[in-house]
């Protein structure tokens, strides 16, 4: 691209615009998209799919021009086979091994897979597939017999068809690459860049991008790409299931986690991974633990103690991230507002409600607190596990129990929390987001990356979260200690 930069520098100077043009090469599609969307670079040459993703990320990006292919905005993608292959059509690819380009490639992935979907071929209909990165690698791999078919752009196919012995079995339409300006680029510089590109006729410079000039561009020119990307989702969409237990009303639990999971799906799509995540709200902690530990679901949101128990019993369970909260999340001992109880010592001889038997704050850490105060189950008149934190709150508010234990987020959401009074707070730990053992390592890696990349406050707020953060298993060691200490509390 050096001749291109030299041309632009000289031409802009001739237009009385002095700018210091420097080129940045990014290691991935994602990093380049993020940089342009955030305004860290001024303009870029993207593939059509990268433009669509960047435009979705920042609608204020501006199209400068699009490249000309013999005066046209259209080019073709190609699916080819070895010249002597018996494969004649896309339908013949059932059971065959196919090579694609990069996961973000327009023709080497999205539009070729959309063409396969139109032909009734989905990923499970193939004998196998792989992403080789560059178009030339795909051509070489098909020609050498490593793969029975491959998807490339037409330039690559035309370059190697004769010398490598490739035969076209299908082609599909695409559009040329766009040049895009960041949001807020000055009108003067934007217009100068566009006119400079329109005026470029030097074939030695244009040769570096294998095109013959530039044409006016409109966002609608890339609707073809959007349609292809949407259709390509059907080729290899993964259906994942996500488990969460009902710590309070199941409908509220579902509604609070849905926006975040939608955001995870969106980030995965931006990474070139097609996933739909279904939500299963389980009635008990044990049900959720069992479901992810026995691969009945793929992902789960587990409380700290539930994670510790699950990891102990099923070491294959993997930690993806943990939750970080907007406000400090604590466990609470609560009593009726008018109660004379003021401390944990006053709970001797009283009735206490706990949440679930697997609850971190609603059982284990609370009982560890009581043990530290010298109180065990035998010192109580009555104790019960009510399952959900909101049930504990309502039961104590109605004075069915003298005291109860719940977590602060549930307390914050209660309509009648003024009927309760907190007598003790204790440290809580963020919930764990985990994946079952045996999930595809690539998908596992992409899930983690997607979760950690989300920054939209609106999707976190329903859960009271600030963000999801990277975590180590050792973060939960204090919970393990609390569980061990709670053993001394006993049962009533």
Looking at the structure, do residues 436 and 314 belong to the same domain, yes or no?
Answer: yes
Residue 9 structure tokens: 């520098």
Residue 189 forms part of a structural domain: yes
- Residue 335 located in a structural domain: yes
**What's the confidence (pLDDT) of residue 326?**
84
Q: Mark whether 346 and 423 lie in a shared domain.
A: yes
State yes or no: pLDDT of 302 exceeds 90.
yes
Q: Is the pLDDT of residue 327 over 90?
A: no
pLDDT of residue 415: 63
Say if 82 falls within a structural domain: yes
pLDDT at 492: 60
Query: Are both 79 and 109 inside the same structural domain?
Result: yes
Q: How far apart are CA 27 and CA 31, in angstroms?
A: 7
Residue 307's pLDDT is: 94
| CA distances, 131 to each of 141, 147, 275, 290, 312 (Å) | 11, 11, 18, 35, 37
Number of domains in the chain: 4
Distance CA 325, CA 305 (A): 17
477 contacts 312 by C-beta, under 8 angstroms = no
pTM of the predicted model as reported, rounded to 2 decimal places: 0.69
Asked whether residue 341 carries a pLDDT value surpassing 90, the answer given is: yes
Choose among 329, 289, 332, 283: nearest CA to 308. Answer: 289
Q: Are residues 288 and 245 in the same domain?
A: yes
Flag whether 138 is in a domain: yes
- Residue 182 shares a structural domain with residue 168: no
Q: Would you place residue 112 in the very low, low, confident or very high pLDDT band (cuts 50, 70, 90)?
A: very high
**Four-residue CA torsion sign, 308, 313, 317, 318:** positive
Give residue 251's pLDDT band: very low, low, confident or very high (50, 70, 90): confident
pLDDT category at 190 given cuts 50, 70, 90 is: very high
For the stretch 154-168, pLDDT in tens is 999 999 999 999 999
What are 166's strand-pairing partners? 82
Query: Which token pair is 431?
Result: 């919930």
The pLDDT value given to residue 1: 63
Q: Give the pLDDT of residue 19.
A: 84
Question: Quick check: is 225 in a domain?
Answer: no
Q: Judge whether 230 lies within some domain.
A: no
| Judgement on whether residues 169 and 79 belong to the same structural domain of the protein | yes
**Stated length of the chain:** 492
> Could you tell me what percent of the chain has a pLDDT over 90?
76
* Longest CA–CA separation in the chain, Å: 92
Cα–Cα–Cα angle for 272, 100, 207, nearest 5°? Answer: 95
Residue 271 lies in a domain: yes
pLDDT digits (tens, 9 = 90+) for 268-301: 988 888 899 999 999 888 899 999 988 899 999 9
Question: Do 422 and 437 reside in the same domain of the chain?
Answer: no
**Neighbouring residues of 189: CB distance < 8 A, sequence distance ≥ 6:** 17, 19, 42
In a shared domain, residues 33 and 52: yes
* CA–CA gap between residue 326 and residue 257 (Å, rounded): 16
Q: What is the mean pLDDT of residues 389-417?
A: 89
Question: Packing angle between helix 154-164 and helix 135-143, nearest 10 degrees?
Answer: 30
Question: Is residue 372's pLDDT more than 70?
Answer: yes
Of residues 352 and 414, more confidently modeled: 352
pLDDT value of residue 36: 94
Q: What does the alpha-carbon distance between residue 204 and residue 224 come to, in Å, rounded to a whole number?
A: 31
Ranges assigned E (strand) in 128-237: 128-131, 149-153, 166-175, 178-181, 214-215
| 380 and 246 both lie in a single domain | no
In whole angstroms, what is the distance from residue 344 CA to residue 352 CA?
11
Question: Who contacts 59 (Cβ-Cβ below 8 Å, separation ≥6)?
Answer: none
Domain that holds residue 449: 237-327+431-481
Distances from the Cα of 69 to the Cα of 32, 125, 175, 207, angstroms:
24, 34, 9, 12
Question: Same domain for 83 and 197?
Answer: no
Within-domain flag for 488: no
Is 198 in the same domain as 311?
Answer: no
Average pLDDT score over the chain: 93
- Report whether pLDDT(231) > 70: yes
Whole-number percent of the chain with pLDDT over 70: 99
| 407 SS3 class | strand
pLDDT tens digits, 32-61 = 999 999 999 999 999 999 999 999 989 999
Q: Residue 318's beta-bridge partner residues?
A: 435
The domain that holds 345 is classified in CATH as 3.40.190.10
Residue-by-residue DSSP string for 165-182: TEEEEEEEEEEPPEEEE-
The helix/strand/coil state of 186 is: coil
* Sheet bearing 420-427, strands edge to edge: 382-385, 351-354, 403-407, 330-336, 420-427
Residue 298 CA, chain-centre distance (Å), reads 14
Picking from 409, 427, 445, the residue at the C-terminal end of a domain is 427
**Other CB atoms within 10 A of residue 458 CB:** 9
Residues 171 and 193 in one domain: no
Which residues, including other chains, have CB under 8 Å from residue 347's CB and lie 6 or more apart? Answer: 333, 341, 370, 375, 379, 380, 402, 403
């Amino acid at each position: 691209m050096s001749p291109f930069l030299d041309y632009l520098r000289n031409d802009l100077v001739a237009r009385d615009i002095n700018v210091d043009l420097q080129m940045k090469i990014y290691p991935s599609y994602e990093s380049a998209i993020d940089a342009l969307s955030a305004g860290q670079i001024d303009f870029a040459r993207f593939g059509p799919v990268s433009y669509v993703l960047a435009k979705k990320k920042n609608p204020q990006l501006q199209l400068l021009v699009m490249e000309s292919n013999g005066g046209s905005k259209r080019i073709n993608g190609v699916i080819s086979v070895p010249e002597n292959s018996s494969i004649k059509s896309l339908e013949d690819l059932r059971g065959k091994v196919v090579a694609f380009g990069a996961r973000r490639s327009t023709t080497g992935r999205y539009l070729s897979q959309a063409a396969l979907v139109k032909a009734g071929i989905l990923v499970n209909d193939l004998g196998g597939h792989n992403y080789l990165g560059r178009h030339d690698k795909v051509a070489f791999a098909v020609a050498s017999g490593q793969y029975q078919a491959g998807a490339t752009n037409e330039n690559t196919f035309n370059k190697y068809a004769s010398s490598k012995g490739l035969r076209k079995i299908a082609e599909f339409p695409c559009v040329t690459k766009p040049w895009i300006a960041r949001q807020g680029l000055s009108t003067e510089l934007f217009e100068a860049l566009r006119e400079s590109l329109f005026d470029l006729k030097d074939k030695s410079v244009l040769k570096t991008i294998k095109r013959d000039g530039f044409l006016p561009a409109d966002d609608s020119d890339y609707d073809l790409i959007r349609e292809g990307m949407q259709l390509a989702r059907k080729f290899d969409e993964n259906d994942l299931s996500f488990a969460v237990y009902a710590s309070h009303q199941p409908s509220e639990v579902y509604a609070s986690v849905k926006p975040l999971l939608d955001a995870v799906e969106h980030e995965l799509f931006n990474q070139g991974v097609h996933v739909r995540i279904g939500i299963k709200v389980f009635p008990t902690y044990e049900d959720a633990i069992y479901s992810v530990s026995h691969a009945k679901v793929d992902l789960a949101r587990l409380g700290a103690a539930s994670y510790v128990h699950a990891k102990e019993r099923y070491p294959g369970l993997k930690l993806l991230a943990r939750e970080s909260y907007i406000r400090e999340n604590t466990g609470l001992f609560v009593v009726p507002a008018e109660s004379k109880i003021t401390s944990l010592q006053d709970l001797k001889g009283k009735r206490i409600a706990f949440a679930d038997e697997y609850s971190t704050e609603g059982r284990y850490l609370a009982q560890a607190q009581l043990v530290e105060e010298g109180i065990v189950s035998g010192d109580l008149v009555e104790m019960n596990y009510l399952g959900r934190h909101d049930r504990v709150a309502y039961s104590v508010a109605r004075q069915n129990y003298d005291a109860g234990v719940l977590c602060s987020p549930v307390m914050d959401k209660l309509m009648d929390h003024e009927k309760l009074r907190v007598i003790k707070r204790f440290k809580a730990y963020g919930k764990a987001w985990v994946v079952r053992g045996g999930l595809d390592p690539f998908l596992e890696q992409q899930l983690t990356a997607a979760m950690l990349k989300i920054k939209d406050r609106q999707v976190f707020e329903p859960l009271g979260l600030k963000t999801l953060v990277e975590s180590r298993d050792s973060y939960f060691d204090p919970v393990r200690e609390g569980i061990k200490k709670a053993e001394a509390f006993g049962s009533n």
